[in-house]
Structure 1
Amino acid sequence: MEWEQLLSLKRFGDINKRIRKEQDETRLGFEVDYDRIIFSSEFRSLQDKTQVIPLSKTDFVHTRLTHSLEVSVVGRSLGRKVGQKLIEKHPHLQKIHGYQANDFGAIVAAAALAHDIGNPPFGHSGEKAIGAFFKHGLGQMFKSELTAKEYQDLCDFEGNANGFKILTESRVGRQGGLRLSYATLGAFMKYPKESLPIKPTPHVADKKYGFFQSEKEAFQDIAYELGLLKRSAHDIMYSRHPLAYLVEAADDICYTIIDFEDGINLGLIQEEFALEYLSKIIRHTIKPENYYALTTKTDRIGYLRALAIGTLINETVDLFMQHEEAILRGEWDCALLDKSHYDAQIKDVIKISVEKVYQSREVVEKEIAGFRILTELLEVFITAIHNSHNHTPSNYDTLILHLLPERYKETQNTLQGRLLSVCSFVSNMSDSYAIMLFNKIKGMEIG
């Protein structure tokens, strides 16, 4: 892969390419990507979507929106630092093509900002609920009418693929989706493969899938434009855009450290664990007397969090540059932090978060409720759409379809299109809206 091609400013939906030197320096093309994402309705819904603690009543626990903003900030730092080193290593990128270090930061920041834009409400429980509906529930009835890959898209419903759909799907008045640059779309695609075969190799890019069959042509167009390397002669499997590794690292750094921080602030993890574990991810020694000189627990944990994130950012930059050539050849097959000097310490922190936070009674109870809510919504809306398409809608079905926004009725010319339209509708709901709609449909709330 070549950086000149990987940094494509061409916008999805455009015919002509754009040149970096033609850009207005006050608002660069890649920065426009960030703006378009942050003003989208799908991004706004993240303000009321679960990160770890569903429907928390406290004011310091992260939602998907605050998590995405923080991942974007870390991603910008990673991109700028890597960009500076890449321009030193490949000076023609600046001298001939006009790229600056901040371009790399803008690409990674925008892709990181969008990395959770397709995730359903109620955290990963939401993805599981949608998959289970088709794998074990009413959705099984559609298996014989879909191709194997179309059905697998639904059985392993993936927030990353739904995010790619949001960013690229054309609809009336919005051709080319959000019309982001190809470079940003490439950096967004952590899993550049389709849903089948499932995990064909241990390669990190094969862990999940990145697009639905409905967006296959869009994905192939982007992969071709960017010059991504094909990794299979028979299946749609490509090497990642190199900057996708930085987006992944930004996410890994934030959820490792900040979910741990949330657990401590909620009282689910003892504060002493912070000094014991986070101090091991900081390059210089933390003196307990300096730590306890900070008067509040929030300030003390925030101090450690900032130092730990700073350490991991600098190490990630070093790892990327050490292995840049292997990454460009498509030979790098794991997450950057998998090779971190602090890998054991990171795993210790994640283990505690899993035991004390992710598996806490509060989280499990609300995930169970979320699972039931999404299953009910899928059943009601898919039944209504299916009966309407077969010209056998009941009066109830007709009423239900009045609740489906017009934008989700535009892609219903195929069975998968109809099913995915409901899945996308449900996925784009906030936690609170899903609960409210569920209660109204069940007759438990009126008005």
Structure 2
Amino acid sequence: MNWEQLLSLKRFGDTNKRIRKEQDETRLGFEVDYDRVIFSSEFRSLQDKTQVIPLSETDFVHTRLTHSLEVSVVGRSLGRKAGLKILEKHPHLQNIHGYQANDFGAIVASAALAHDIGNPPFGHSGEKAIGEFFKTGEGQQFKSQLTAKEYQDLCDFEGNANGFKIATQSRVGREGGLRLSYATLGAFMKYPKESLPKRPTTHIADKKYGFFQGDKNAFVDVANELGLIKRGTKDSISFSRHPLAFLVEAADDICYTIIDFEDGINLGLIQEEYALEYLINLVRDTINTEKYHQLNNTQDRISYLRALAINTLINEAVDIFIKNEEAILNDEFKTALLDKSKYEAQINDIIKISVEKVYQSQEVIDKEISGYEVLRTLLGVYTKAVNNKNIDSLSNYDKLILKGLPNNIIRDDDSLYSRLLNVCHYISLLSDSKAILTYKKIRGVSF
């Protein structure tokens, strides 16, 4: 892979090549990507979607929106720092093509801002709830009518693939979805493969999948434009990662490691003495002990250590990225950046206590159970209604249900796979509160 292709400013529908030197510096193409994500309705709904603690009623806890904004800020720093070093190694990118360090920052920030845009209500348990509906629930009935890959898309419903759908899916008046630059789409694509074969290698890019069967052509178009390396066989589509996807992933890893931990402390799920010990172990080389001892409350101490920890891991991730740049460009680097960190033990200690005290807390478990019931009910009612319409067998109840769905969910010309995926996609766009309200209406408990 080469950076000239990887930094493509092309957007869906372009007929002429976009040249970096011809860009308006007051509103650069990659910065437009950021604007388009942040003003999208899909991004806005993240303000009421679970990050760690589902349906939390406290002000301390992050939503998907605040998490995404923080990941974007970290991603911008990662991109800019890496961009400076890349331009030093490849001066022609700046001297001939006009690329700047801030271009890298804008690409990573935009992709990081969008990284959770496809996540359904109730966090990762929402993805699992949709998958279970098709794997072990009512949705099993459709298996024989779908291809293996179509069925796998549904059984392992994936927020990353759903995010790519949001970013690229055309509809009337919105051709090309958000029309992001291909460079940003490439950085967004952490798992550049289809749902089968499932985890064919131990490569980090094969951990999950990144696009639905219905979005295959758009995905391949982006991958080919960027010059991503083909990794699949004639029966499967798989490409190398865009190098900047490693930085997007690192930004997410840094934020959920440190900030989810901070949420656990603020909620009282993790004791302060544990928290301070674990964070100090991570920032021991940079902490100003005199300043630290002047802080006289938990929140200020945690905030200070959190800022140091994030900065430490940003610098560490950039160093690892630059040291392995050639291997990354040749698709020979097969792990997340922080898996190679000298702070790996400290990071794992923090994640372990977060899993035990936060992710597996009774509050999380209880509310994830509620999320399963909500999504199972919505999927059952909606899939039945759209399929009954397709065979002209609508009940009066089905007709009422369909009146609450957008027209693009219930088109007569759709295949079974498209109908099912459209229902999942529609439900995925609901906020936690909207999903609960809809569930209550269906159950007749909102009167």
Shorter-normalised TM-score: what interval?
A: over 0.9
Mapping for residues 151-162 of structure 1, pairs under 5 Å: 151-162=151-162
Checking the alignment, whether the CA contact within 8 Å between 1:412 and 1:421 is kept in structure 2 is no
Checking the alignment, whether the CA contact within 8 Å between 2:68 and 2:116 is kept in structure 1 is yes
Mapping for residues 264-303 of structure 1, pairs under 5 Å: 264-284=265-285, 286=287, 290-303=291-304
Aligned to 1:254: 255
- Output the amino acid matched with 1:200: P
| Residue 282 (structure 1) shift | 1.1
| Residue 270 (structure 1) shift | 0.5
**Structure 2 residue 340 is matched with structure 1 residue 339:** yes
Aligned to 1:25: 25
Aligned to 2:311: 310
Aligned to 1:194: 194
Relative distance call for 1:141 and 1:8 in structure 2 (3 A) is: same
- Output the amino acid matched with 1:91: P
Aligned to 2:372: 371
- Output the amino acid matched with 1:17: K
| Residue 290 (structure 1) shift | 4.2
Aligned to 2:239: 238
TM-score normalised according to structure 1 size: 0.98
| Residue 26 (structure 1) shift | 0.1
CA distance in 2, matches of 1:3, 1:246: 15
Secondary structure class of the residue paired with 1:261: helix
- Output the amino acid matched with 1:136: T
Unaligned segments of structure 1, at least 5 residues: none
Relative distance call for 1:170 and 1:92 in structure 2 (3 A) is: same
Checking the alignment, whether the CA contact within 8 Å between 1:274 and 1:304 is kept in structure 2 is no
Aligned to 1:360: 361
Per-residue deviation, residues 179-238 of structure 1 (Å, max 9, x unmatched): 000000000000000000000000000000000000000000000000000112332111
Aligned to 1:185: 185
Per-residue deviation, residues 354-391 of structure 1 (Å, max 9, x unmatched): 00000000000000000110000000001000101110
Aligned to 1:423: 424
Checking the alignment, whether the CA contact within 8 Å between 1:79 and 1:106 is kept in structure 2 is yes
TM-score normalised according to structure 2 size: 0.98
CA distance in 2, matches of 1:358, 1:166: 28
Aligned to 2:149: 149
Aligned to 1:398: 399
Structure 1 range deviating more: 285-294 or 193-202: 285-294
**Structure 2 residue 438 is matched with structure 1 residue 441:** no
CA distance in 1, matches of 2:15, 2:141: 41
Secondary structure class of the residue paired with 2:294: coil
Checking the alignment, whether the CA contact within 8 Å between 1:291 and 1:300 is kept in structure 2 is yes
Checking the alignment, whether the CA contact within 8 Å between 1:29 and 1:181 is kept in structure 2 is yes
Secondary structure class of the residue paired with 1:386: helix
Aligned to 1:122: 122
CA distance in 1, matches of 2:133, 2:48: 23
Checking the alignment, whether the CA contact within 8 Å between 2:279 and 2:305 is kept in structure 1 is yes
Corresponding pairs, count: 446
| Residue 156 (structure 1) shift | 0.5
Aligned to 1:414: 415
Per-residue deviation, residues 295-348 of structure 1 (Å, max 9, x unmatched): 332111111000000000001110000000000001110000000000011000
Secondary structure class of the residue paired with 2:10: coil
CA distance in 1, matches of 2:412, 2:357: 42
CA distance in 2, matches of 1:285, 1:120: 39
| Residue 120 (structure 1) shift | 0.6
CA distance in 1, matches of 2:39, 2:413: 26
- Output the amino acid matched with 2:86: L
| Residue 292 (structure 1) shift | 4.4
Structure 1 range deviating more: 401-410 or 157-166: 401-410
Secondary structure class of the residue paired with 1:82: helix
Checking the alignment, whether the CA contact within 8 Å between 1:47 and 1:66 is kept in structure 2 is yes
Checking the alignment, whether the CA contact within 8 Å between 2:186 and 2:245 is kept in structure 1 is yes
Checking the alignment, whether the CA contact within 8 Å between 1:11 and 1:180 is kept in structure 2 is yes
Aligned to 2:264: 263
Mapping for residues 49-64 of structure 1, pairs under 5 Å: 49-64=49-64
What percent of counterpart residues are identical?
Answer: 74
Relative distance call for 1:287 and 1:77 in structure 2 (3 A) is: closer
Secondary structure class of the residue paired with 1:143: helix
CA distance in 2, matches of 1:61, 1:78: 25
Secondary structure class of the residue paired with 1:195: coil
| Residue 285 (structure 1) shift | 5.8
CA distance in 2, matches of 1:80, 1:390: 55
Relative distance call for 1:289 and 1:28 in structure 2 (3 A) is: closer
RMSD: 1.2
CA distance in 1, matches of 2:63, 2:28: 29
CA distance in 1, matches of 2:94, 2:289: 46
| Residue 436 (structure 1) shift | 0.5
CA distance in 2, matches of 1:411, 1:9: 37
Checking the alignment, whether the CA contact within 8 Å between 2:379 and 2:423 is kept in structure 1 is yes
CA distance in 2, matches of 1:129, 1:67: 22
| Residue 411 (structure 1) shift | 9.0
Checking the alignment, whether the CA contact within 8 Å between 2:121 and 2:430 is kept in structure 1 is yes
**Structure 2 residue 106 is matched with structure 1 residue 96:** no
CA distance in 1, matches of 2:264, 2:372: 23
